[in-house]
Amino acid sequence: MSECVEKGPGQASAPDALAQDFLQFVVDCGALRFGEFKTKAGRISPYFFNAGLFDDGIKLGRLAQFYARRLLASGIAFDMIFGPAYKGIPLGAALTVELARQGLNVPFAYNRKEAKDHGEGGSLVGAPLRGRVLIVDDVMSAGTAVRESIAIIRAAGAQPHAVVIALDRQEKAIEDGQDAAHSAVQYVQQLGLQVCAIAKLVDLMQYLDQHIAAGLALDQQRVQAYQQRYGVAER
């Protein structure tokens, strides 16, 4: 059974062990921080996930292991991996290496922000985009990188098939300057793509509930208030 099956609104679930291990990892290495952070949407968030802080071989390798474990457990089938510039490039490359280490060798490609006008030219690097393409990213807030990736993949004649991300913030997307009723993840799902996340906001809430005694009580209250204001129900 896929570990990415959505729960219905109000449906309680036991803590996801993989998600909890991942959250402990990202807190320990400083990639997940609590405080006050302004998001691209202009909201003041009580937490921030920075994939740029997986900045050495051990951290990046372990991150790739979490991606691979979640992805393989999900049952999602795909033919190749695409990493959107910029953060998706090292994430996609690391995941491709980890999957090969586990016996699944698939092609990998990424895009440049600006097309190259010399050498091989073009804006795509790596394997030709073919078949069912899996997009790798860190956090899907507005979904901008994924939407751009979908257009690139379709233009190449391939199928944007699924997305794997590290953290699903499960909050309302912004459309025309207004809060939407759906999240960026739900919007991408409506386009027909499967979305798989290592951890979600509900997992983060469970993590904070379990670590209140470790001095995270105030952070738990702030994240809960943020969830109540901007969160979306799972579908």
Shortest CA distance to 201 belongs to which of 63, 45, 55, 94?
45
Enter the tokens of residue 55.
């900045």
Q: Read out DSSP for 113-130?
A: EEEE-STT-EEEEES---
Is 70 exceeded by the pLDDT of residue 12? Answer: no
Per residue, the 3-state secondary structure of 192-216, as one string, reads CCEEEEEEEHHHHHHHHHHCHHHCC
Q: From residue 49, give the alpha-carbon distance in Å to each of 1, 36, 176.
A: 28, 12, 25
Shortest CA distance to 107 belongs to which of 134, 87, 88, 85?
134
Residue 145 vs residue 18, higher pLDDT: 18
Shortest CA distance to 99 belongs to which of 126, 124, 128, 70?
70
Task: Select which of 38, 40, 113, 116 is catalytic.
Answer: 116
pLDDT at 2: 37
pLDDT in tens, 84-139: 998 999 999 999 999 999 999 999 999 987 655 444 546 899 999 999 999 999 99
161 is catalytic: no
DSSP state of 212: G
Task: Select which of 7, 40, 113, 118 is catalytic.
Answer: 118
Enter the tokens of residue 70.
């979640």
**Exposure string for 210-219, b = 16+ CB within 10 A, e = fewer:** ebeeeebeeb
Q: How far apart are CA 105 and CA 87, in angstroms?
A: 22
Q: How far apart are CA 155 and CA 183, in angstroms?
A: 25
Q: How far is CA 147 from the centre of its chain?
A: 14
Indicate the pLDDT class of residue 28, thresholds 50, 70 and 90: very high
Domains and CATH numbers, the chain: 17-230 (3.40.50.2020)
200 is catalytic: no
Is 90 exceeded by the pLDDT of residue 19? Answer: yes
Average pLDDT, the chain: 89
